[in-house]
Chain A
Amino acid sequence: MGEWRINPWQSLKTVLRPLDPVLLLILVALMVYAVVLMVSASSDRIESQLIHMALALALMWVVACIPSQRLLSLALPLYLVGVALLVAVLLFGEVSKGAQRWLNIGVTRIQPSELMKIAMPLMLAWFFQKREGHIGWREFIVASALFAAPVALIVKQPDLGTSLLVAAAGLYVIFFAGLSWKLILPALVAGIVAISAVAMFGDTLCQPDFAWPGLRDYQKQRVCTLLDPTRDPLNKGFHIIQSTIAIGSGGVDGKGWMQGTQTHLSFLPERHTDFIFAVLAEEFGLIGALLLLLMYFALLARGAYIAAIAPTLGTRLLAGAVTMIFFTYVFVNMGMVSGILPVVGVPLPFISYGGTALVTLCLGVGILMSIRHGKLALKR
Chain B
Amino acid sequence: MSAYGPAGEKNQRYGYRLLAACAFMLAGFIVLVMRLYVLQVERHAYYSTRAEDNRIALLPIVPHRGSISDRNGAVLARNYVAYTLEITPSRTELELEETIKQLATFIEIEPKDKRRFYKLLAESRKFESVPIRTRLSDDEVARFIAERYRFPGVEVQARLFRDYPQGTTASHIVGYIGRINDRDVEQIEKRQATGNYRNTEHIGKSGVEAFYEDALHGTTGIEEVEVNVRGRAVRRLSSVPAVVGSSLELTIDIELQKVAEAAFGARRGALAALDPATGEVLALVSTPTFDPNLFVDGISSHEWKKLNDSPDHPLLNRAIYSAYPPGSTFKPFMAMAALNSGKRVLGQAIYDPGYFDLGGHRFMDDKVGGHGMVDLHRSLVVSCNTYYYMLAHDLGIDSIAAFMAKLGLGSRTGLDLPGEAEGVLPSPEWKRRRFSNPAAQRWQGGDTISVGIGQGYNAYTPIQMATALSVLVNKGKFFRPHVARYVVDSHGQRREVEQGPVSQVALKPEHVAAVKRGMEDVNKVGTGARAFAGAPYTSGGKTGTAQVYSLRGRGYAGRTNERLRDHSWFIAYAPADEPKIVLAVLVENGGFGAVSAAPIARQVMDFHLSGQRANQPAAEDEEASEAEDDDPDADEHGGE
User: Please, which residues of chain A bring their CB within 8 A of the CB of B229?
Assistant: 265-267
B32 touches A249 (CB 8 A): no
From B43, which residue of chain A is reached at the shortest CB distance?
A248
The size class of the interface chain A forms with chain B is 35 or more
Q: Is A99 an interface residue (CB 8 A)?
A: no
Partner of B32, one of A176, A252, A261, A293: A293
Given the complex, which residues of A lie within 8 Å of B4, measured CB to CB? 311-312, 378
User: A335 contacts B25, CB within 8 Å?
Assistant: no
The distance from the CB of A308 to the nearest CB of chain B, in whole angstroms, is 6
Main SS at interface, chain B: helix
Contact partners of A312 in chain B: CB under 8 A:
4-5
> Is A40 in contact with chain B by the CB < 8 A criterion?
no
Given A248-B46, A248-B47, answer yes or no on A265-B36 (Cβ-Cβ < 8 Å): no
Segment from A74-82, A110-118, A281-289 that makes contact with B: A281-289
- Shortest distance from the beta carbon of A253 to any chain B beta carbon, whole Å: 10
A250-B40, A285-B40, A304-B22 as given contacts; A331 in contact with B32, CB under 8 Å: yes
Partner among B2, B15, B31 whose Cβ is within 8 Å of the Cβ of A378: B2
- Is B351 an interface position by the 8 A CB rule? no
Report Cα–Cα, A300/B21, bound state, in Å: 11
Within 8 A of A (CB), among B1-38: 1-2, 4-6, 10, 13-15, 17-18, 21-22, 24-25, 28-29, 31-33, 35-37
Could you tell me the distance in whole angstroms from the C-beta of A251 to the nearest C-beta in chain B?
4
A289 touches B36 (CB 8 A): yes
B41 on the A face (CB < 8 A): yes
Docked pose: A290 CA to B40 CA in angstroms: 12
Contact A247 B40 (CB under 8 A): yes
Using A311-B5, A327-B25 as known contacts, say yes or no to A286 and B41 having CB atoms under 8 A apart: yes
> Does B50 have its Cβ within 8 Å of any Cβ on chain A?
yes
* A284, chain B: closest CB distance, angstroms: 11
Binary flags per residue of B433-473, CB closer than 8 Å to A gives 1, else 0: 00000000000000000000000000000000000000000
B44 within 8 A of A: yes
A195 to chain B, nearest CB (A): 14
Give the CA-CA distance A246 to B40 in the complex, in Å: 9
The answer, yes or no, to whether B187 is at the interface (CB within 8 Å) is no
B51 and A262: CB pair below 8 A?
Answer: yes
The answer to whether A300 touches B46 (Cβ under 8 A) is: no
Contact between chains at B41 and A252 (CB < 8 Å)? yes
Known contacts A265-B227, A266-B229, A312-B5: does B36 contact A247 (CB below 8 Å)? Answer: yes
Would you call A157 an interface residue if the criterion is a C-beta within 8 Å of the partner chain's C-beta atoms? no
User: In the assembly, what is the distance between CA of A261 and CA of B50, in Å?
Assistant: 11
Chain B, 40-86, CB within 8 A of any chain A CB: 40-41, 43-44, 46-48, 50-52, 54-55
Q: Which residues of chain A are near B31, meaning CB under 8 Å?
A: 331, 335, 340
Complex: A52 Cα to B415 Cα, angstroms: 81
Known: A304-B22, A316-B14. A249 touches B50 (CB 8 A): yes
Q: How far is the CA of A145 from the CA of B229 in the complex (A)?
A: 48
Tell whether A247 pairs with B47 under 8 Å between CB atoms, given A176-B14, A262-B54, A338-B35. yes
What's the least CB distance linking A265 to chain B, in Å?
Answer: 4
Contact of A265 with B40 at beta-carbon distance under 8 Å, contacts A309-B1, A316-B14 already known: no
> A249 with B21: in contact, given A265-B55, A316-B14, A378-B2 (CB under 8 Å)?
no
Which of A249, A290, A320 counts the most B-chain CB atoms under 10 A from its CB?
Answer: A249
Contact B228 A249 (CB under 8 A): no
Give Cα A50–Cα B4 distance, bound, in whole angstroms.
Answer: 41
**Alpha-carbon gap, A360 to B24, bound state (A):** 23
Given contacts A178-B13, A265-B228, A289-B40, contact A248 B48 (CB under 8 A): yes
A165 at the interface (CB under 8 A from B): no
**Residue-wise interface mask of A (261-295) relative to B, using a CB-CB cutoff of 8 A (1 in contact, 0 not):** 11001110000000000000100011001100100
Q: Does B39 contact A (CB under 8 A)?
A: yes
Closest to B50 in A: A245
B18's contact among A132, A307, A338, by CB below 8 Å, is which? A307
Is B122 in the interface zone, CB < 8 Å from A? no
B280 at interface, CB cutoff 8 A: no
Q: Whole-angstrom distance between the alpha carbons of A372 and B241 in the complex? A: 70
Complex CA–CA separation, A174 to B31 (angstroms) = 25
Inter-chain contact A338/B17, CB cutoff 8 Å: no
Contact B228 A311 (CB under 8 A): no
Check if B368 is an interface residue, CB within 8 A of chain A.
Answer: no
Is there contact, CB below 8 Å, between A320 and B21? yes
Cβ of B624 < 8 Å from any Cβ of A?
Answer: no
CA distance A245 to B22 in the complex (A): 31
A residues in contact with B51, CB < 8 Å: 245-246, 248-249, 261-262
- CB nearest to B230 among chain A residues: A266
Query: Are the CB atoms of A313 and B29 closer together than 8 Å?
Result: no
Known contacts A244-B47, A248-B48, A378-B2; is A266 also within 8 Å of B32 by CB? no
| C-alpha gap A338/B226 in the complex (Å) | 25
Contact at A320–B54, with CB atoms within 8 Å?
no
With both beta carbons as reference points, the residue of chain A lying nearest to B4 in the complex is identified as A311
Residue of B nearest to A326 (CB): B25
Is A133 part of the binding interface, using a Cβ–Cβ cutoff of 8 Å?
Answer: yes
State the CA gap A304–B24 with chains docked (Å): 12
Is A218 positioned at the interface, with any CB of B under 8 Å from its CB?
no
At the interface, yes or no: A140 with Cβ under 8 Å from chain B?
Answer: no
* B502 interface contact, C-beta 8 A: no
With a cutoff of 8 Å between Cβ atoms, the chain B residues found around residue A244 in the complex are 39, 47
Q: Are A249's CB and B6's CB within 8 A?
A: no
A246 vs B10: C-alpha distance when bound (angstroms): 48
Report chain A residues within 8 Å CB of B55.
261, 265
Contacts of A266 in B (CB 8 A): 228-230
Task: Report chain A residues within 8 Å CB of B6.
Answer: 132-133, 313
Contacts of B17 in A (CB 8 A): 175-176, 178, 320
Q: A267-B228, A289-B36, A320-B17 are in contact. List 12 more A-B contacts (CB 8 A).
A: A244-B39, A245-B50, A246-B51, A248-B44, A248-B47, A249-B51, A266-B229, A297-B29, A312-B4, A313-B14, A335-B31, A335-B32
Shortest beta-carbon contacts, A-B, top 9: A248-B47, A249-B51, A248-B39, A265-B228, A266-B229, A286-B40, A249-B47, A251-B44, A331-B28
19 A–B pairs (Cβ distance < 8 Å), ordered by A:
A133-B6, A178-B17, A247-B36, A247-B40, A248-B40, A248-B44, A248-B47, A248-B50, A261-B51, A261-B54, A267-B228, A281-B36, A286-B37, A286-B40, A293-B32, A300-B25, A308-B15, A330-B32, A334-B32
